[in-house]
Amino acid sequence: MTETPRPTGDNTLLKEVVPDRKISRAERLLGPENYRILKGLLKTPASIIGFILIGIFIFVAVFAPLIAPPVNDDPFKIPRDGFSGQPRPPGTEWKQNVPEVPFWYKPLTGKDEWVHLMGTAQGQYDIFYSVIWGSRTAFRTGLIVVLATVMIGIILGSVSAYYGKWVDQLIMRIVDVFMTVPYIMMALIMAAVLTPVIGRSLVPALLAMITFGWMGYARIIRSDILSVKQRDFILAARVCGVKDGRILFKHILPNAIFPTLVLASLGIGDVVLSFAALSFLGIGTPMGYADWGQVLSFARNWITNLADYWYIVVYPGLTLVFFVMGWNLVGDALRDVLDPKMRGRS
């Protein structure tokens, strides 16, 4: 009978099978999964460009009072340099109601006089001020609508998938009804109905967009929960008598929410674009409010002379494009990192 050899201190074979891997301080701090996601997001040039664009807009929104000092009690009210309907080109000097010259202006331009850096729109609204403070409006509308619609979608989608049967049928039929109507058209109608009741503000448009914007999140979270709830650890939790609420919010949602987060990151850009469309049609914000869509609406009467009045469209239009592009690039990168099938092809 041969004697079984005892293991020696040589771990060469073990090292070949399980190679040593140094764990960085960032990975220890964030955790392996969060570190993997962050590393994946910073791996592609497109996602880096997206983060840079979003970072620029965050910087502009945070420091808007220093970049473009407010003139009125309401900082979102665009300062006017008269009441003429004729737009004026970039570099034109202020004639009246001259705002405070910001600290960065003279070192950067070498001038003491504050000018319209991007020109004025119809009604002598300063375009530069509207672009800077419009970034705050964009973040407010985007985050409020997306957070509200995600919460509604998660709650209804989770309840529908977890309990099934008639509950699932009822909620999904409601979703089907809401999804059959055009989003922008219904939001426009609802905002138009609410405006005389609530008043001309952000609220009617936000309520309308929330009312008709949650269905996609409900469908996504429902489909993911239907697959997660059949896993062994969920069935074991039920056998052990764990309450439904704890199973749903403690065990199922954390394993099913990632696709919803991807959709939400893409949704911020879509919401801002839709809100700009409502403002362009005269529903979104009060007249003279710092909003990119409203500034674009000032160009409607000058659309045939864009060669002379290009600045009314170019500055707010490019700002809106870059804002939406930043969120879409980050959302695409987040989808690639969180989607197992996409990771398998990479």
- For residue 119, tell me if it sits in a domain: yes
Q: What is the pTM of this model?
A: 0.80
- For residue 14, tell me if it sits in a domain: no
Run means of pLDDT, 10 residues per run, the chain, 346 residues:
53 50 60 63 81 93 90 84 81 79 79 82 88 92 92 87 82 86 83 80 85 86 76 68 68 72 82 88 81 86 80 91 91 71 42
Distances (CA, A) of 258 to 154, 160, 261: 12, 18, 5
- For residue 77, tell me if it sits in a domain: yes
The CB-side HSE value for 215 (13 A sphere, CA atoms) comes to: 17
- Whether residue 220 contacts residue 153, with contact meaning beta carbons closer than 8 Å, is answered with yes
Distances (CA, A) of 207 to 141, 193, 198, 222, 310: 11, 11, 11, 24, 33
Q: How far apart are CA 141 and CA 76, in angstroms?
A: 14
| Token duo for residue 120 | 């004025």
List of residues 6+ apart from 121 with CB closer than 8 A: 87, 127, 130, 295, 298, 299, 312
- For residue 41, tell me if it sits in a domain: no
- For residue 310, tell me if it sits in a domain: yes
Which CATH number does the domain housing residue 119 bear? Answer: 1.10.3720.10
- First-last CA distance in the chain: 52
- For residue 205, tell me if it sits in a domain: yes
Return the pLDDT at 24.
62
Query: For residue 294, how many other CB atoms are within 10 A of its CB?
Result: 26
Return the pLDDT at 141.
92
Q: H helices of 31-86, where? A: 32-41, 45-62, 64-67
Bridge partners (DSSP) listed for residue 107: none
Return the pLDDT at 242.
67
Domain of 305 in residue numbering reads as 53-345
- For residue 181, tell me if it sits in a domain: yes
Return the pLDDT at 344.
41
> How many domains does the chain contain in total?
1
Distances (CA, A) of 178 to 154, 184, 272: 16, 12, 21
Q: Is the dihedral of CA 48, 53, 56, 62 positive or negative?
A: negative
Bridge partners (DSSP) listed for residue 80: 125
Amino acid code (one letter) for 316: P
Q: How far apart are CA 290 and CA 269, in angstroms?
A: 18
Dihedral (Cα; 141, 147, 148, 151), 10-degree rounding: 170
Return the pLDDT at 341.
45
Return the pLDDT at 114.
80
Return the pLDDT at 168.
83
